[in-house]
Structures are given as C-alpha cells and as structure tokens.
Amino acid sequence: MASPVAGKKILLGLTGGIACYKAAALTSRLVQAGASVRVIMTEAATQFVAPLTFQSLSGHAVLTGMWQHDDRPDSQHIGLARWADAFVIAPCSADMLAKLAAGLTPDLVSLTACALPATTPLLAAPAMNADMWANPIVQRNLKILRETLPAWHEVGPAEGWQACRTQGAGRMSEAEEIVTAIETLLAK
C-alpha cells in the first residue's frame, strides 16, 4: 500500500540545534516513501550538519541563504512555498519559534514560512533544552502560533536524554513519528 506522502512535495526546513542530525533520517524516510523532498537550512543549521548530506539524500540542491538560487526563475522563498504540499520545520528551535511568532524573516526558513499559502500545512518539530522548552517566553510564542496560523501543527517534543546532559521535554521527535504526523496531515 502506498504511503500518503507518495507523490507529495515536502519542504523541509532545518534550524540550528544538535537535533539536525535526525533530519537526515527524516529526509531519507520521506524519499523512500515516494515524496519529493526539498531542503532549506538556516546558517545555524549548517553548523551542525552539512547541506551536502541533504543534497545526497533528497536528490535536490539545498538552499541555505535568501539570495541563493537554484532552478527557479522566481524568488526562491515564494517558489518553494508555492511548490510545497507541506512545510516541515525539523528541528524547530526556540529562535525560530520566536521569529515566526513575531513575524520576523531574517533567514530563508522564516522567510519561506511567511510566504507559505494559508492552507498549506506547516508542521513544526520543536527541539531545545528542557528549560528552554518550559520557558514562558517559548510557551507564549507557541500560543501565538497556535492561535494565529490555521495551518500550524506540532509534533513533539519528546522527553528523554538531551545533548546538554539533562533529562526532560525538548527532544525532537524521531523520524518515524514525524513521518506519521506528515501522513496524517496530507491524508486530510
């Protein structure tokens, strides 16, 4: 039986955080399920994983800057936002949540999210330290996004061991859980 992501166009945005390594497995699983995956990254994300990893896994050039162009004659952020059946931000850092809640667009991921058609699902997979996740500012930003964006969805975060050597909520969900969330969104 074909996956609900087969033939779908998934835009994957990576933001800075150690959880970026999990996005490689996510990309691979989506491609194996028959999705066309395009990857965009913030500069901070490139400090954790190389764009070449995602180019190899997705089979498409990876964009990391607002002024970078690949195969589109239009503005990259607008073209990619219109292309996508779903936009997944994984990992979605506290920084990205704040940018989105405030409507700031200083990088390709936030700029593309701003250009996303209102009916295109935006799935965030938050990833951050447990204290950051529990911070009232982060929770306020999530509340704003939940109340403002009708196509906003979240998966996770999970609880467990974190790179900062603590336990708690804030771990990015595993690839399988994110794929299931995407399948559910696209099956609607």
* Tens-digit pLDDT profile for residues 89-126: 999 999 999 999 999 999 999 999 999 999 999 999 99
The pTM of this model reads 0.94
Does residue 114 have an active-site annotation?
A: no
Residue at 139 is within a domain: yes
Dist CA 27 CA 36 (whole Å): 10
Cis amide prior to 150 (ω within 30 degrees)? no
14: its two tokens? 């990576």
Q: Tell me the two tokens of residue 7.
A: 């033939």
Q: Are 81 and 120 in contact (CB under 8 A)?
A: yes
Residue 74 scores a pLDDT above 70:
no
Residue range(s) defining the domain that contains residue 84: 9-187
- pLDDT band of residue 66 (cuts 50, 70, 90) is confident
Number of domains in the chain: 1
User: Is 134 inside any structural domain?
Assistant: yes
Q: pLDDT band for 70, please (50, 70, 90 cuts).
A: low
Confidence of residue 73 (pLDDT cuts 50, 70, 90): low
CATH of the domain at 166: 3.40.50.1950
In a domain, 4, yes or no: no
- pLDDT, tens digit, for every residue of 11-61? 999 999 999 999 999 999 999 999 999 999 999 999 999 999 999 999 999
Catalytic residue among 20, 92, 114, 164: 164
Give, to the nearest 10 degrees, the angle between helix 76-83 and helix 108-115: 60
